[in-house]
Amino acid sequence: MIQMKELRKDFSVRVKAGRLRRVKRTVSAVDGVSLDIGTGEMVGYIGPNGAGKSTTLKMLTGVLSPSGGEVSVCGLAPVPQRTRLALSIGVVFGQRSQLWWDLPLAESFRLLRHIYRVPAADHAARLRRCRELLDLDAFLDTPVRQLSLGQRMRGELTAALLHGPRVLFLDEPTIGLDVVSKQAVRSFLGELGRSGDVTLVLTTHDLADIERLCRRLVVIDHGRVVHDGTIEQLHSRYGSRRRLIADLDAPLPDGFEVPGATVAAVEADRHRVTFVLDDVPAGAVVASLVNAAPIRDLSLVEPDIEDVVARLYTASVSGAP
Amino acid sequence: MGDLRAYAALLGGQFRSVTSYRASFVVELFSSAGATALDVVTVVVLFGAAVEVGGFTLAEALMMTGIAASGFVLGDLAVGSVERIKLYVRTGMLDAVLVRPLGVLPQLVLMDFPLRKALRLVFGTSVIGVAIALNDVDWTPARVLLMVVAPIAAGVYFGAIFVISATLSFWWVESGEIGNGFTYGGRDFTSYPITVYSGWFRGLFAYGLGFGFVAYQPGLALLGRPDPLGLPGWAGYSSPLVALLAAGIAAVVWRVGVRHYRSTGS
Amino acid sequence: MDGIGASVLVVSPNRPSRASVTTFRALVWSGFRRYATYRQATVAGMFTNIVFGFLRCYVLLAVAGGAAGGMAAGYDPTQLATYVWVGQGLLNVVGIWGWTDLSDRIRTGDIAADLLRPVPPVTAYLAADLGRATHGMLARFIPPVIVGLIFFPLAVPARWQTVPLFALSVILAVIGSFACRFLVNATAYWLQDARGPIMLWTLGSGVLTGLYFPLRLFPDWAVAVLWLGTPLPGLLQTPLDVAAERDSPALQAGLVALQAVWAVIMLALARLVQHRAERKLVLQGG
C-alpha cells in the first residue's frame, strides 16, 4: 500500500557565520528511509522532535516533494498525482483543522461530501457509523469554533474518513486531548484497524497510543530508521527486562543471589529488594527468595516502552545503534 | 462537472460562514463599498482644484477611473483573497489544503471569497456609466466591444497582479505589505491618466508592469483622443492581450511558487 | 502578542511620583521593543509606503500644474511634495491604522489582566503607544523623506520655529491618534466585536486626516467644520502644514494649540469611556 525506497528530503538552511554573513547549509530531514507498509497494517511512526516524522508524512500525502528516492502510496506518486491520491487517503493533522470554523460540524461534513464527490448513500452510511462510534450527535449542530478540542478531534477523524480512504495518516491525533477523549479516539482507531480495510500510519508523542494500537513500530531519528518491528522486538533488542519487587518481613541476608537475575536495589533497611530478570522466570526467583526471608508482598513490573524509546533516542544520538 | 460542484460547495460554505455574523457582514458590505466611493471622491476633489490634471478634464479622467475601479473590484472579488496565503503558509494550513482533491488556487480563493466586496462592483460600473454620460463618445462597434471588454480585461489583469504579489510569500513569508504596493498601488496608478506621472516611475509602472494598458489606453480609445505620450491608437484595444499575458505570467509564477513550497515546506 | 510589557510593575508606596515615572518609562520601552522585533515587516511596509509616496506626489503635483498660478489650495509644488513625503513618513509614527490590541484583548477577555495592574489602562496603553511611535520615528520616518528629497524638490524649513513646532505637533498627533483609536477599540466593551467601527475608522480617517490629499482642497466651510469640530486634522494635516510652512507663524501656532485642545479632550474622553467600561465589567462581570 505504501512503499518508500531510500526516500530523502534535504532542506537548505542559512546559518549565521559572523555578523552579517550567512552560509547556506544542507540539512537532511529525511535521510534515506525505506519502508514497505502493507494493506491493513497499523504502523506507529515515532521519533524525537525534528527527527523527520512530519516531513515523511508530508511526502506521503503529496504536500512536500522528495529530494531523492522513490515513494508510492496506493500505487500513485504523491506529488504529481496529488488530487487523485487525495481521494484515496485521509489525513488528520492534530493541529490543523479540515473543518469550517464558523459552520456547524454537520455542515462541514456535507461540504466534504461534495469536495470528495462521495455518493450520498456511502456518505450517509459512513457518517452514521462515525456518529455511533464517536458519539457525535450531541454536538453535530454546534459551530466548530465552539467545540472542545476533544470534540473537534472526533470531528476531524470523521472528516478524514467520510470519503472512505484506503490509507489514513494521523499526525499527533491525541495531542492536547484529555484522558477521556484520548480513550475515545484510541478505541475508535482500534476498531477501524481491526476491520482490516484501512491502512493506518500514526505519528505521536504519546507512546500509549502505539501500545494500544500498533503492531508495528517504526522509530526514526535524524532522518533514519533506527527500529522497524514489533514492540516485543524492540524490548528484546534493547534489553528491556521485567523487574520483580519484593517486600520482606525480615532483612535480606547478605550475599543473596539468584542465577539469571540481578539485584538492582536493596532498600528500606534491607526489607525491600528489586531484581531485574535477565534470563529466568519470576517463579524461580520467588522460590529461592522464600528460602532466604519471609515474603510479605510481591509485584512484577513490565518493561516500560517510554524508557526503551528514551534509551533508543540517546543511543542513536551517541552514534551506537 | 464534478469539480464544479465541489467548488460551488466550497463557495456555499464560505457564504454561510460570513452570513453567520449578519451584523458584521452588513457593516463590512457597506464600508467596503464606501472605500471604493472614497477613491472616486478623491479623484473628484483633486480635479476640483484644477482646470485640467495631466492634460485631462475630470470627465475624461473618470472614464479611466471607472475602468480601473471596476477592473480592480472584479480582480479583487475573484482572487483577492489569495492575499491570505501568507497566513496559510505561516500556520501550516496550506498543508490541509494540499491534501484535498481540488486545485490549490481555486480552493484558497473560494474558501475566503470576499462577498463583502460585492457592492463595490455596482459602484465601479456606475462610474463608467457616469463617464459615458459626461463624454461625447463616438460609438463604433469596436468601441462598444471595448466598453464591455476593457473592465473585464482590467479585472483579469488585477487578478494576475494579486496572484503574483501573493506568491511572493512562498519565498518570503514575512513579506507583509509589499504586495499592496502593486495591487492597491496599481489601482491608484490606473485611476488617473498616466500623464500625471513622469520619469522612470511612469516607465516602470505603465510599460514595465503594464498598468498603462489597463485603464489609460482603453480610456483614450473610447474617448477618441490620441495618446499625448505617442502610442498609436490601436494600443487602446490591446488591453485584453496585456491582461492575458499577465494572467499567463501569474499562472507560471504560481506554479513555481507552489513547487517551491513543496520543496521547502513551511 | 502581549500588548504591554512583560515586566512586573512595582509601584513603591513611599515615592509614588518617582515610581510612576519609572513605570511609564518601562512601558514606553516595552512598546518600542515590541515593534523593533518586526524588522522584516518594517522593511516591507517601508517599500509600500514609498510606492504610495510616488503616486500621491505625482498626482498632487499634476493638480498644481493644472491649476491657475501653479498652486493647489495654497500650496506651491515644493510644499506639496513636502506634504506628501513627510506624510508618508508620519503615517507610521502617528499610526492611524492597524491597531486592534485593545479590542482583541477585550474580545478574548485578556483585558481582565490589564485591570489587575497598578497602572490605569489608558495610561499603560498610551505609554506603549508612545514607544511604538518612537520606533516609528526612528525606523519609518526618515526613509520616505530621504526618497522624497532625492526624487522631488522638497521645501527646506525657512523659519527657526518650524522644527520645534513640528516636533510638538507630532507628539500631539500621536496622542490624539492614540485616543481616537482607543475609543474606536473600546466599542468592543459594548459591541461583541469592534470590526465594524474599526472599518469605519480606517475608511474615514484616511481622507479626513489629510493623508490622501490636503484637506484645504475641500470647500472652506468644510475645512472649518473639520478643524474646529473634529480631532481628525490634528492627526496628520496639522503637523504636515507645519512642516510645509503652509501658513503664517501665528496661524501655525494657533493650529497646534487647537490640536493640543483636541488631544486633551480625546484623552479625557478615552479615560471616561474606560472608567464606564470598568464599572460595567465589575457590575456585570464582562
Q: What is the pLDDT of residue C193?
A: 72
Residue C13 has pLDDT above 60, yes or no: no
Interface of C with B in 218-247 (CB under 8 A): 218
**Domain positions in chain C:** 16-284
The CA distance from B181 to the nearest CA of chain C, in Å, is 5
Find, in chain C, the residue whose alpha carbon is nearest to that of B25.
C196
Rounded mean pLDDT, C176-196: 89
CB contact under 8 A, C52 and B178: no
For B101, which of A83, A95, A111 is closest by C-beta distance?
A: A83
CB contact under 8 A, B185 and C51: yes
Rounded mean pLDDT, C128-132: 94
CB contact under 8 A, B31 and C66: no
Chains with ≥3 Cβ pairs under 8 A against C? B
Q: What is the pLDDT of residue B251?
A: 95
Within 8 A of A86 by CB-CB distance, chain B residues are 99-102
Q: What is the pLDDT of residue C216?
A: 93
For C48, which of B49, B52, B177 is closest by C-beta distance?
A: B177
Q: Which three cell numbers stand for residue B97?
A: 489544503
Low-confidence residues of chain B, pLDDT below 50? none
The CA distance from A259 to the nearest CA of chain B, in Å, is 55
Q: What is the pLDDT of residue C6?
A: 39
Kindly write down the DSSP assignment for every residue of A26-83, as one continuous string. EEEEEEEEEEEE-TT-EEEEE-STTSSHHHHHHHHHTSS--SEEEEEETTB-TTTTHH
Within 8 A of A67 by CB-CB distance, chain B residues are 263
Residue C286 pLDDT grade (very low, low, confident, very high; cuts 50, 70, 90):
very low
Rounded mean pLDDT, A235-254: 81
For A115, which of B16, B102, B262 is closest by C-beta distance?
A: B102
CB contact under 8 A, B47 and C63: yes
Distance, CA of A59 to CA of A7 (rounded, Å): 9
Within 8 A of B92 by CB-CB distance, chain A residues are 93, 95-96
Within 8 A of B171 by CB-CB distance, chain C residues are none
Asked if A286 and A310 touch (Cβ cutoff 8 Å), the reply is: no
Q: What is the pLDDT of residue C208?
A: 92
For B198, which of C58, C203, C212 is closest by C-beta distance?
A: C58
Q: How does pLDDT run across A93-103, given as a tens digit for each residue? A: 877 788 888 88
Beta carbons within 8 Å of C235's beta carbon, 6+ residues apart: C94, C96, C173, C176, C177, C180, C205, C209, C210
The CA distance from B251 to the nearest CA of chain A, in Å, is 17
Chains A and B touch (3+ CB pairs under 8 A): yes
CB contact under 8 A, A115 and B8: no
Q: What is the pLDDT of residue C8?
A: 39
CB contact under 8 A, B262 and A63: yes
Q: What is the pLDDT of residue B69?
A: 93
Q: How does pLDDT run across B86-134, given as a tens digit for each residue? A: 888 888 888 888 888 888 898 888 888 888 888 888 888 999 999 999 9
Asked if A32 and A7 touch (Cβ cutoff 8 Å), the reply is: yes
The B-side interface with A (CB below 8 A) comprises 2, 5-6, 8-10, 12-13, 16-18, 20-21, 91-93, 95-96, 98-103, 259, 262-265
Distance, CA of A232 to CA of A240 (rounded, Å): 9
Q: Three-state SS for A185?
A: helix
Rounded mean pLDDT, A260-289: 83
Rounded mean pLDDT, A175-191: 87
The CA distance from B111 to the nearest CA of chain A, in Å, is 9
Residue A253 has pLDDT above 90, yes or no: no
Q: What is the pLDDT of residue C7?
A: 40
Which of A191-195, A304-308, B9-13, C137-141 is predicted with the least confidence, judged by mean pLDDT?
A: A304-308
Q: What is the pLDDT of residue B226?
A: 94
Asked if C217 and C73 touch (Cβ cutoff 8 Å), the reply is: yes
How many residues make up chain A in this entry? 321
Which of A121-130, A269-278, C13-22, C32-41 is predicted with the least confidence, judged by mean pLDDT?
A: C13-22
The CA distance from C41 to the nearest CA of chain B, in Å, is 6
Q: What is the pLDDT of residue A212?
A: 82
Chains A and C touch (3+ CB pairs under 8 A): no
Residue C2 pLDDT grade (very low, low, confident, very high; cuts 50, 70, 90):
very low
Distance, CA of A58 to CA of A52 (rounded, Å): 10
Residue C10 pLDDT grade (very low, low, confident, very high; cuts 50, 70, 90):
very low
Kindly write down the DSSP assignment for every residue of B50-113, as one continuous string. SS-BTTB-HHHHHHHHHHHHHHHHHHHHHHGGGGGHHHHHHHTHHHHHHTSSS-HHHHHHHHT-
CB contact under 8 A, B98 and A63: yes
CB contact under 8 A, A114 and B5: yes
Find, in chain C, the residue whose alpha carbon is nearest to that of B190.
C55
For B96, which of A65, A82, A98 is closest by C-beta distance?
A: A98
Residue C127 has pLDDT above 90, yes or no: yes
- The residue with greater pLDDT, A194 or B240, is B240
Q: What is the pLDDT of residue C17?
A: 60
Q: What is the pLDDT of residue C18?
A: 63
Residue A302 has pLDDT above 80, yes or no: no
Q: How does pLDDT run across A30-83, given as a tens digit for each residue? A: 998 999 999 989 999 988 877 888 889 999 998 889 999 999 999 999 988 988
Asked if A282 and A243 touch (Cβ cutoff 8 Å), the reply is: no
Residue C11 has pLDDT above 60, yes or no: no
Q: How does pLDDT run across A146-164, given as a tens digit for each residue? A: 888 889 999 999 999 999 9
Q: How does pLDDT run across C215-263, given as a tens digit for each residue? A: 999 999 999 999 999 999 999 999 999 999 999 999 999 999 999 999 9
Q: What is the pLDDT of residue B53?
A: 93
CB contact under 8 A, C63 and B174: no
